[in-house]
Copies of this chain bind each other. A is one copy, B any other.
Amino acid sequence: MSKPLQRREKLRADLILAAERIIAERGLSGLKTRDLAREIGCANGAVYNLVADMDELILRVGSRTLRRLDEALSAAESAGAPLPQETLVRIALAYCDFAAENLQLWRALFEHRMEADKVVPDWSVDDQMRLFRHIYQPLVSLFPKRGPEELEITARSLFSAVHGMVALGLEQKLVAVPLPALRKEIAGLVRAMIDGLIAPAGQNRAAAGS
């Protein structure tokens, strides 16, 4: 009795949680199968009954991280004035804050590289794509005339630009900007990007919209 299937699932959940804790504490490179096995109380070989390999485990943890990130962005989306400009700023800052507060787990999302030939499974790709929808809505309000495809690309670009600022801003403590300064920079540049995109501006607005 004691429903072995449920026990298996329980162990699986424990494994993923243990992996998450270890990555958060010691970084992606601190994740070792033997530590995991000891942590959840089984032989190292048993790990491979719960997940196919380390890649899958890391992606599972990534999925959890992405879900929490998604929630943080959702909260920011509806946590103030519905002005699309300010909503986008809030989302960008929420992204920055999440990365700072979950530094190692957030890094793991991008540091991890699939071993060549093996493909990222669909459920993982879906997780990633879901993030863009947060900035898509405000962009629709800002640019009602533009088509969905164009807006999707813009959403992706905006997201990527903010991601870059966060990534390099949190990189190395030596030259790193202090967090408040980084937040200010992000807010400023997001507003600038939006203003510039709206702009009935001066001379050279040629290539942006076409």
| A residues whose Cβ falls under 8 Å from a Cβ of B | 27, 29, 85-86, 111, 113, 116, 120, 125, 129, 153-154, 156-165, 167-169, 172, 174-175, 177, 181, 184-189, 191-197, 199, 201-202, 204-205, 207-210
Contacts and interface: CB of A to CB of B under 8 A. Distances in A.
A165 B167 CA distance: 12
A159 to B, nearest CB: 7
> How many copies of this chain does one complex carry?
2
Given A27-B113, A193-B196, 10 more contacts: A111-B113, A156-B168, A156-B177, A160-B169, A163-B168, A167-B167, A191-B204, A192-B197, A194-B196, A199-B199
Given A168-B163, A195-B199, A157 B129 contact: no
A188 B164 contact: no
Given A195-B202, A196-B193, A188 B208 contact: yes
28 contacts: A111-B111, A111-B113, A120-B172, A125-B175, A154-B185, A156-B168, A157-B188, A160-B167, A160-B168, A161-B165, A161-B189, A161-B193, A164-B165, A164-B167, A164-B168, A167-B167, A184-B210, A188-B207, A188-B209, A189-B197, A191-B204, A191-B208, A192-B195, A195-B195, A195-B196, A195-B205, A196-B199, A199-B201
Contacts of A111: 111, 113
Interface SS, A side: helix
Contacts of A208: 187-189, 191-192
Contacts of A201: 195, 199
A123 B209 CA distance: 42
